Amino acid sequence: MPVSPLSVELLAVTPNALSLIYSAFRQCYHAGFVADMWPRLLSGAVDREVQADFVRKVLESGHDSPVEHASFTFAVAGISRACSHQIVRHRIASYSQQSQRYVDASDMDYVLPPAIARIPEAKARFEAFMSEVGNAYRDLKDILEAHGRKDKAKEDARFVLPQAAETKIVITMNCRALLHFFHLRCCMRAQWEIRALADAMLTHCKQELPAIFATAGAKCESLGYCPESTRFACGRYPTREQLFQPGDGEA
């Protein structure tokens, strides 16, 4: 039952994502039919930097719905069930997660929180409990199998598994959903595990589609101030209240 490290691999990106987003934006402001320009976009007749610059300028205006036409698919391993429960709260996405009902967890990997890892006595207690859980799971599985549950023994034995249990999941999000995900989960107020996942996903997105993701991240990075109240702000940026004090701009 080893500690499982985070792994984020990019499986797929919508082909010709930049040109697709560019053409979707252009259709909003173009009298013609963008399908007629599509062959020129694919051939390189319209420079990619010209496309990227157009996309960036329109995004800066606040018009962002056309970026939904492109999506990214990630394979993620080394996250806890606690983390995956947070991820699936993002509803504009598709998920395929490893099933504890069908996958044998006798040799369950787990995620060790850094705060626990730093304290020897906390780490020792945590690891002892993980060992206890593993023994309980195996014992229950064996007992259930002996009483005729066969392959279904796993679906009942899994009830003792902790939130620390490692899981694997495939995630697909369109670019607009990803921008929202990064706004929330790259924030210093996000839980450490999902923030690490979001940062790793963002690295892939910036490499693949910088026109959309070069300035993506926590919301404060695009706003230039923290949208949280002073009570919850981490201090990286001034809060809105600090920037816009009552009476500002008055004669």
Closest CA to 73 of 97, 98, 94: 94
Contacts of 111 (CB under 8 A, 6+ apart): 3, 4, 78, 79, 80, 82, 83, 164, 166, 193
Phi-psi region of 44 (alpha: psi -120 to 50; beta: other; left: phi over 0): left
Closest CA to 70 of 18, 8, 11: 18
Asked if 87 and 170 count as a contact pair (C-beta separation under 8 A), the reply is no
Contacts of 59 (CB under 8 A, 6+ apart): 67, 212
Select which of 185, 189, 236, 240 is catalytic.
Answer: 185
The tokens of 176 are what? 């607009």
Q: Is the dihedral of CA 163, 164, 166, 168 positive or negative?
A: positive
For the question of residue 89 being annotated catalytic, the response is no
Dist CA 246 CA 251 (whole Å): 13
Residues designated as active site: 185
